Structure 1
Amino acid sequence: MWWPAALAALVALGLGVPALVAGGSPASSTVAAAAAPATDSPEAGFARDMATHHQQAIDMSFIVRDRTQDAAVRTLAFDIINTQANQRGMLMGWLDQWGLTQSTPAKPMAWMGHTYDAHDGSLMPGMATNADLEKLRTLSGRDAEVYYLQLMINHHRGGVEMAQGYVDAAKNDVEKRLAQTMVNGQRAEIDLITGMLAERGAQPLS
């Protein structure tokens, strides 16, 4: 099967993010301290919104981890939990360094001129609704695997759109590099997940 090699590459990509930050942590601190962005800036907006977006991916991955024994899906879920929790921590850390709050009354993705009809817990494009999450909690085995993979493809598509939006507007090079890592990693995972769905005789959600 082809997915283990692809997944190994994705894990390596995810593990490369801490190395990026650890290897350049003095520069990261310097950039954050020298040019703290405004609370309504793309830098702050992206950090807040992507942290929220990532948290749901982490939550979904914990759910499916307990609903299936399939090694491929559990490995994918484990990678998403670790990679996105690490990235979320960096985003929250930057907000703290900048002296900014972790939430604001502003609508999600307003920093990139995006309008989205938030509903039932789905705050941004790609995010699952509360009903979707409740359904996932009721499934097990192959049914849970397929539904998780379908939800995660949509979640990644929304994440890629937001991360690319920040790459295009970024003024903070450190945060821009992290956003580009998200674009590259999640696009690769979309391809991987599409293949995993096909192996299970399923297709992405429309």
Structure 2
Amino acid sequence: MNKELLHTKLVREIIALIASGTFSDGARLPAERQLCRQYNLSRGTVRQAFNDLEKLGVVKIRAGSGAYVQKISQKKLPTHLLPQNFENVSFSDIIYARKAIETAAITLACEKITDTHIQQLESLIKKMEQSKENLLNFFKYDMEFHQVILHASSNMPLITAFASIAEYHKYSQVFSSMHEEEVDFAIGYHKKMLTALKDRDIKNAAKAINKHLEHTEQAINNSDDEVISA
């Protein structure tokens, strides 16, 4: 992958985090050095991404201080960097699709999951627990958990479909205004999924993923401010 594609990918990732509420208006983005380590990018690539974000009006770079999120609404974010037809996709649409995809995937995973997959899921839950104060990392490990389950299903159409849904999910409001108790709820549901997968318990695995997603949707519907990671 060339340098241009790498910095464009980082621009999209940062816009997703702003759109989701992970970085609120006026928030300082992580330092260049931190982003270099986290995304395994060169300093020049990260700097180019910051410059592009400033040109787009997404951030304001302050010399010697860093890059700060501008006071813009999600609707004003550059549409050419958002998923296709994003403005026509509701959170309920995303949850409905995820239920269909992930219920099928976790059912297959109960039959095909390996010890390596189990170890990966256990490791990701530990990382989620250690990242309660760092939502950027928490969301990363959260989605990786679901991706492991998809790969454990060994069903390429489901894996591809989930990748598309995950892209929309990053830009949804589900990640904004998360509180510690909601993070704990999310971790609890992931532990239930892991237990069911270890037991090869299809019924409880499907129940856990559906309850998890239903709880997330209910939280969104109950309050614009109360949201839970999925």
Same fold (TM over 0.5): no
Between the two structures, name the one with larger relative contact order (CA 8 Å, sep ≥ 6).
1
Superposition TM-score tier, normalisation by shorter sequence: 0.3 to 0.5
Q: TM-score, normalised by structure 1?
A: 0.33
